[in-house]
Structure 1
């Protein structure tokens, strides 16, 4: 992995962590997702799982030199990313208390 691409992945994952922690602790969601997200805590958990998947893939791309282990690590990171997306979906489609007062 190129250094600039790895740095971009780590920065993106760090932004997911910050946004996920803000959603879990304060119920804050970025402005372009506020209309769609009905459960901010669940949305924040999904963002944390996505960030973990990105960190996992960056770790295996930079640290592991064995091609077989690198491939399995990348596959595991992709599975973690998919799990994060699966956690994010119910946060958008389940009815929650965010729109109850409107």
Structure 2
């Protein structure tokens, strides 16, 4: 039975490391990368699951003898289910797009001479999309590509 608890503790430590890496860098395992829309939520969920696994494994050996089995059971399951809920939310919630990321960055343009006194600096409008004008660009010649 000790090897099962040891494997559980090892998986808990691995989950804590992966959750920490996800929170610090935004990196997600390649198998889950395509489905995760909120990496921070995913990282916190993995951290909670890892803490649950490690806590239940450590408490199995009686490190904290004053804790009742009910507190260990319900506390570990609350951490585990909370982490699983955060993982589901990280997969289900849509991408968060802010206005700052939706518009291209560029130098700020000063207000024109006829602008009111309280005018603020604005970003220049992006150039119109060539594809929306109805004329598609021809193939690129001379570089070996066959883009149409």
Q: TM-score range by the shorter chain?
A: 0.7 to 0.9
TM-score by length of 1: 0.82
Structure 1, unmatched stretches of 5+, are none
Q: Does 1:5 align with 2:4?
A: yes
Which whole-Å CA distance do the structure 2 matches of 1:59 and 1:15 have between them?
A: 15
Structure 2, unmatched stretches of 5+, are 98-148
Q: Give secondary structure in 2 for the equivalent of 1:37.
A: coil
Which whole-Å CA distance do the structure 2 matches of 1:87 and 1:70 have between them?
A: 26
Listed one character per residue, the Cα deviations across residues 5-53 of structure 1 (whole Å, up to 9, x for unaligned) are 1110111011111111111111111011011101111100000011111
Partner of 1:79: 78
Runs in 1 of length 4+ with deviation above 4 angstroms?
none
Partner of 2:36: 37
| Structure having the larger proportion of residues in helix | 1
Listed one character per residue, the Cα deviations across residues 33-79 of structure 1 (whole Å, up to 9, x for unaligned) are 0111011111000000111111221122111568x812431222112
Q: Does 1:59 align with 2:58?
A: yes
Query: Higher relative CO (CA 8 A, sep ≥ 6), structure 1 or 2?
Result: 1
Partner of 1:21: 20
Number of equivalenced pairs: 97
